[in-house]
């Protein structure tokens, strides 16, 4: 074993959930694997809770392959205690409580990740809530505030306002002084978005978000995960100099668009996915979150919205709930 420190009683094997073959939720299968080992700069986490995210479902369905070298097990975030540290890890010690962004492998009793992608459990939060932070907070921070440069006083529109991403984006944007608008698919979901800090939540089954946002002067920043016909509608909803950030295409990536609008109104269309980015870039996002966002969590100004928890072995049920879109906020798996 190459790690420099480890807890004394680590087993050789662990319980996990693997993807038997590409397909629906039922392909998630309880299994047993050898414990992963932390390489230089990595920590091994004894997982207590693992967050469930829409990209896990894409991976399960066969359309979001893990990057080279990452675990083939699903799971992009987890909380727990450090069980071992690899060489050249100075910031964490065995026994520390952490939550961390993972390259994969969160649906398991133990997972490895670069030490720089772990963060302390924010003051006042438990491990269950902490497991829900990394994937959505890394994504929202890097896209809304770094890539799109949302500023206090600007108008921000987020689609899928009741999603894990949406509930995070609404709270962070409101806490940092933006005027927030959100879309969601039911009155109940819209009410939650407004409780979280949206000035106006738009039920997209009943009203056109373009009309609502344009009546306010247009959105300075839009965070979109829907795509398809939302793309030209987003362009219409943007204010001059507005920025559109795509983080997914739930309804498809292809569309016909009049780019003259982009030129004439000086718009920016951008986007990113978190998982393929370099370790260094994710470490930079982690450092920014620790400085700018962890104090908001500790002060209770921002908090993860918890939908439901399932035992690890019932990951298939957790995925079915997520894909039904009945949930509001985050779904977690109880592992430890």
Please select the residue that binds ligand NAP; options are 81, 117, 179, 189, rule is CB under 6 A.
189
In terms of CB distance, is 7 or 281 closer to ligand NAP?
281
| Binding of ligand NAP by 139 (CB under 6 A) | yes
In degrees and rounded to multiples of 5, residue 175 shows phi and psi of -65, -30
Dihedral over alpha carbons 279, 20, 98, 149 (to 10 degrees) = 50
Please select the residue that binds ligand NAP; options are 73, 172, 225, 305, rule is CB under 6 A.
225
| Binding of ligand NAP by 247 (CB under 6 A) | yes
**DSSP string of 148-172?**
S---TT-EEEESSTTSHHHHHHHHH
Q: Inter-axis angle of helices 164-175 and 187-196, to 10 degrees?
A: 30
Please select the residue that binds ligand NAP; options are 70, 250, 255, 298, rule is CB under 6 A.
250
**What is the nearest approach in angstroms of ligand NAP to the Cβ of residue 160?**
4
Residue indicated by tokens 């306010």: 216
In terms of CB distance, is 205 or 290 closer to ligand NAP?
205
> Cβ neighbours of residue 299 under 8 Å, at least 6 residues apart?
none
Please select the residue that binds ligand NAP; options are 25, 41, 66, 185, rule is CB under 6 A.
185
What is the C-alpha end-to-end distance of the chain, expressed in Å? 23
In terms of CB distance, is 4 or 268 closer to ligand NAP?
268
C-beta of residue 232 within 8 angstroms of C-beta of residue 137 = no
Cα of 23 vs its chain's centroid, Å: 22
Contact string (CB under 6 A) for ligand NAP, positions 147-176, x = contact = -------------x-xxxx-----------
- Residues β-bridged to residue 115: none
| Binding of ligand NAP by 333 (CB under 6 A) | no
Residue indicated by tokens 């398991």: 108
Contact string (CB under 6 A) for ligand NAP, positions 103-132, x = contact = ------------------------------
Residues that bind ligand NAP (CB under 6 A): 53-55, 135, 139, 160, 162-165, 184-185, 189, 225-226, 247-248, 250-251, 272-274, 322, 325
């Amino acid at each position: 074993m190459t790690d420099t420190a480890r807890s004394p009683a680590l087993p050789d094997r662990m319980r996990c959930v693997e993807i038997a073959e590409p397909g629906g939720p039922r392909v998630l299968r309880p299994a047993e694997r050898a414990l992963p080992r932390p390489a230089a700069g990595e920590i091994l986490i004894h997982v207590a809770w693992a967050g469930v995210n829409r990209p896990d479902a894409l991976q399960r369905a066969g359309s979001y392959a893990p990057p080279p070298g990452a675990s083939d097990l699903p799971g992009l975030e987890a909380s727990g205690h450090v069980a071992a540290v690899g060489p050249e890890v100075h910031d964490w010690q065995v026994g520390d409580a952490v939550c961390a962004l993972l390259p994969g492998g969160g649906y398991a009793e133990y997972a490895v990740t670069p030490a720089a992608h772990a963060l302390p459990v924010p003051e006042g939060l438990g491990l269950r809530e902490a497991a829900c932070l990394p994937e959505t907070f890394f994504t929202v921070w890097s896209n809304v505030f770094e890539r799109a440069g949302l500023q206090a006083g600007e108008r921000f529109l987020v689609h899928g306002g009741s999603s894990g991403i949406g509930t995070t984006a609404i709270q962070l944007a409101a806490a940092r002084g933006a005027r927030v608008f959100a879309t969601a698919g039911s009155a109940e979901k819209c009410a939650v978005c407004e409780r979280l800090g949206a000035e106006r939540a738009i039920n997209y089954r009943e009203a056109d978000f373009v009309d609502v946002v344009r009546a306010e002067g247009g959105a300075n920043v839009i965070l979109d995960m829907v795509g398809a016909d939302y793309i030209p509608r987003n362009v219409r909803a943007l204010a001059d100099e507005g920025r559109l950030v795509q983080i997914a295409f739930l309804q498809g990536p292809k569309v016909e668009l009049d780019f003259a609008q982009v030129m004439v109104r000086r718009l920016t269309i951008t986007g990113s996915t978190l998982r393929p980015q370099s370790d260094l870039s994710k470490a930079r996002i982690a450092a920014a979150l620790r400085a700018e966002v962890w104090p908001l969590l500790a002060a209770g100004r921002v908090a993860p919205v918890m939908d439901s928890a399932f035992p690890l072995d019932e990951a298939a049920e957790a995925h079915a709930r997520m894909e039904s879109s009945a949930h509001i906020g985050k779904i977690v798996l109880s592992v430890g």
